[in-house]
A and B are shown apart, each in its own frame.
Chain A
């Protein structure tokens, strides 16, 4: 503000009479976490599980693939905290190492499908001619229920973590493409994009400076939901035998192996089930919280 004496004929902007100005906030994140305890819970839980997965070799585990035919299907004990499975392998170790598979699949699918979806969505949003064509293809892909799509892809390939990631990514990225396209279409109507055009800004620059930053928020929220969905899909695929190969300890595999005995040795199915549910729950909580934080419509506190 000018420090001169008030000039009656000046057209300088005065303080009084101008409304809607909002002062900058400090430390919005702490305030947010305090108001959304569920996000804090989800975040901490997720960090714990990630820690357990990464530090698995140091957390009292043994080799998860070590077969021990003497100790088959033993109940939880001091020696085997979660018991042993059909082949005598220590369930606790298998479950901790299994966390690696789930987290890997979840995050990789989330990242890959976000990238693919972003590229396709941007293309469809900006190219008026190709838009209808591309979106028909996306609609077609989305019409195939994702598990079946993954199943069909896996049926033709050897089971491996990589193939599972590939299959689930194909099933999930059309959703991201549709989201990004929607954002692009609505942003193109914004006056500030028109202003950028009249200012002479080139199209690539408009995309980078004006479009992309506003797609980040919904994409991040969508990515967390995809992560959760991918983890469940991987578990289901492994459960029905179309996922990771039996040698790789994944929660779905462990449950598949324990399936036949579930009525008597339910713990083989129970422990991986708990871990899987907790992990997906944690991711969902974080996703919900991010959505509340980033989507202005839902951020209103009732």
Chain B
């Protein structure tokens, strides 16, 4: 078991190395001179040179990469071109709203999607199932920000039940914190719920066709026992997998959701950095989110061992 855990951890290293290398190399893949692009159309040659120097583009690739990795290992993500602050500082300032949003969304989404998926599988072929499938298709199709605007329009502007924009830190009270997060997390969570519910339903249906379910029925186990004791545990591995993979949707969607609801988190930071072409900040954020994603999927691998006794070696 320990060997399995160790192996999974070690396996993430090459993946993170590829991520780091790729993110770093982006500067070099793009056609044209990155420094010019970053400096913008109005920049003077001197400014372009300044930017080139600050990005270290005037040195060789290997040296740059080595230097970059070295700084990375010291948790130094570079300096923002626009504000001259260390990227890590900027991130630290903005991380709480984004983490809150993602965690609330995660909990809400999983709590809704998994039971819905199980019920849809149980009542497969009936109107309940059809409704769930219809909702899931809509969840995939309507983009995050559209849902965000609709929700904000209806619940905030028109009905005035919830705040339209902004974020209240948790230190100022749990209820206002939560109220500010409800609409954004529903908007962000829609596509996540759709994905999880659909996979849950499909996996449960597949599991319910298996021989061991038939054996359990032949023993006299009732419908509830079949679903929740026999089937769900077997469906857990693909469901947990998709929860992990879906985090990527949350991350991408957070960028947009924070724009719609004016939440001062990492997503807003990304958008601002794009507008200002503040490349070190973009680079730092991409790295951070990617590593976060890798860690989440590592956690998923470890959760497998709790659920499926065959995955312990």
Contacts and interface: CB of A to CB of B under 8 A. Distances in A.
Q: Is any CB of A less than 8 Å from a CB of B in the complex?
A: yes
Interface of A: 136-137, 139-141, 143-149, 151-158, 228, 232, 235-236, 239-242, 255, 259, 262-263, 266, 269, 273, 276-278, 280-281, 284-285, 288, 297-298, 302
- SS of A interface (majority): helix
Interface string B283-313: 1011001100110010000000000000000
Given A140-B21, A154-B274, 16 more contacts: A137-B18, A141-B18, A143-B297, A144-B23, A145-B290, A146-B248, A147-B253, A152-B283, A156-B34, A156-B38, A235-B143, A236-B145, A239-B145, A266-B153, A280-B141, A284-B140
A262 B259 CA distance: 13
B149 A262 contact: yes
B114 interface: no
Contacts of A266: 149, 153
A138 B203 CA distance: 25
Given A156-B30, A156-B34, A240-B256, A145 B149 contact: no
Contacts of B290: 143-145, 148
Chain A to chain B: the 4 pairs with minimum beta-carbon distance, closest first: A140-B18, A147-B252, A281-B141, A302-B125
Contacts of A259: 259
B137 interface: yes
Contacts, number: 146
Interface of B: 14-19, 21-23, 26-27, 29-32, 34, 37-38, 124-125, 137-138, 140-146, 149-150, 153, 157, 164, 202, 206, 248-249, 251-253, 255-256, 259, 270-271, 273-275, 277, 279, 282-283, 285-286, 289-290, 293-294, 297
Contacts of A140: 14-19, 21-22
B157 A263 contact: yes
A236 B18 contact: no
Contacts of B253: 147
- SS of B interface (majority): helix
A228 B18 contact: no
B15 A158 contact: no
Contacts of A232: 143
A154 B294 CA distance: 23
Contact of A152 (B37, B248, B286): B286
A148 B30 CA distance: 16
Contacts of A280: 140-143
6 contacts: A139-B15, A151-B255, A153-B29, A155-B273, A228-B141, A273-B149
Given A242-B274, A266-B153, A156 B137 contact: no
Contacts of B285: 148
Nearest to A236: B256
Contacts of B146: 273, 276-277
B19 A288 contact: no
Contact of A156 (B37, B206, B273): B37
A284 B15 CA distance: 31
